[in-house]
Chains A and B, each alone.
With several copies, the nearest count.
Chain A
């Protein structure tokens, strides 16, 4: 789950990480009030969208008067950035920057731990820095039972800074950012850039946080920050029903048991010249009720032309799956062609049961996908 910059910064502030003052606006006119409330000559108007690349898209502008703030607000509100419409902006104090750093905590698969990533090359795309000058990226794995005591925070701090004034500011920022990460079950907390101002203060000028979906059940305050898009809402609803659903813009609806098999199915659709309308993992079993719910989800898709059901019969045998599918489709009203590919235990019995039904039955994934592409 992602949250906006302003939300992440509010969390930062609660955890004692210094940020600029910020005022949230959803109406362009309010930018003038915000400008005057801040009482600074220069402010920054920043689009709040749950995607990156705001700067390049013109979503971040400097304003030197209330009029200018409003005019930028007009331009930015309603703007589209990578399919996301900007509905919120923040007006925030501008600061004079003398140096920029990149700081994040993130879950690392390889070390199976939270790692701290730091770089003196802040403000840029960190992955580009990592690719071109990996020696400028510092990574430290954090022991979950030790955390970041003062001595470790100092060790990390001295990697980026020399002056004790910066060390003393940076140590609590690191410790608080880690505490925030752990306490909120984050999967990423990122400050990019952390800056030194002309007054020698360290401030988080941008903030990004994402959270572990598996832990949201114990993070009600974080869950309250969730602002799902329509698609995310559909995906979240699907998750509640035990599916994993991702909306895509092709024409071939997929219903597969297992995420890996679902991805492999989509790959083959592409390979054979089709376009999947979605990713849908209906999970281990495939009882009729689940199939009915999955189909009603698929049928909402505007572009849908054909449905491909790809099931591996494992613990649940293919003959049982076939019975379930037949039962489910007694209740599903649709003319859309449905291709079924059944493999696994008792596959022949399963396929025999489906013979003569509304389904087009395929034996191999290749056949099934070809049939689906041809049926569009």
Chain B
């Protein structure tokens, strides 16, 4: 098993005719993801790589029975795309687009919530359940089917970690890049709960960053609810205060949200925190013995 996506996932690509949309549609299709359609207003009736294109998400959902969508439209239009997906009945929306105004994300997230849809992202690499389905821009070849769940605020850092896991023979049940914006959809708490409940997951890697207090909250949750071994990593331990480090999320504000606070909270919850990404496989292996 896995979480969120698997062989039964029916995926729509919003913005399928754009450069990125088309490129990653091809990659996902190669991986075996069940892409049932895409949208591009005004291009309804055409196709991309044999995949039917619709004018609206309403049409697309009606005709394909899709349950999941991935968004590649430009930032200006991405929040609207999230709302359209939710309104059309999509239950899991993965928004890759970056640079969306935060107030737009707040609205879109709230709207999705009211429509009973889950959001991953925005500004995220998406997710993969290796061997089953890939909905994102993650490099497929580094993943391997297995029993480790990976959840992360970062992109390439996740790949780095997954690469080491795979190189050490530790495949993944699901790996999710949650995105680095100030407001994002599914986060550590919800994903930890899913991984804890997923029978295929036997160990968990959580990759955090400075800023906010999501890691502290996750640690508290893990202490009380997660019985599976968890290894963590926090990026930005030596980032200077107040500097924005690429991810808008990674701002140290005042005394909370520092790497030291996060690591302390995680270790207090029984999480092993790695110093370097390459230490993660061995730490996890020890805990899973």
Contact = CB atoms under 8 A, between A and B. Distances in A.
A357 interface: no
Contacts of B100: 214
A109 B214 contact: yes
Contacts of B163: 312, 343-344
Contacts of B155: 258-261, 284
B223 interface: no
B75 A263 contact: no
B176 interface: no
B110 A144 contact: yes
Instruction: Tell which of A213, A218, A344 has the most Cβ of chain B within 10 Å.
Output: A344
A107 B239 contact: no
B58 interface: yes
Interface string A305-331: 000000011110000000000000000
B139 A267 contact: no
Given A112-B110, A246-B243, A150 B80 contact: yes
Contact of A109 (B182, B244, B278): B182
Contacts of B276: 264, 268, 365-366
A142 B138 CA distance: 35
Interface stretch (A5-13, A95-103, A151-159, A189-197): A151-159
B102 A110 contact: no
Size band of the interface chain A makes with B = 35 or more
Interface string B146-177: 00000011111111100100000000000000
Contacts of A343: 160, 163
B84 A345 contact: no
B180 interface: yes
A365 B279 CA distance: 11
Contact of A364 (B157, B217, B278): B278
A260 B157 contact: yes
Interface of B: 27, 41-44, 55-59, 75-77, 80-81, 83-84, 87, 99-107, 109-111, 137-139, 141-142, 152-160, 163, 180, 182-184, 207, 209-210, 212-214, 217, 233, 235-240, 243-250, 253-256, 259, 275-278
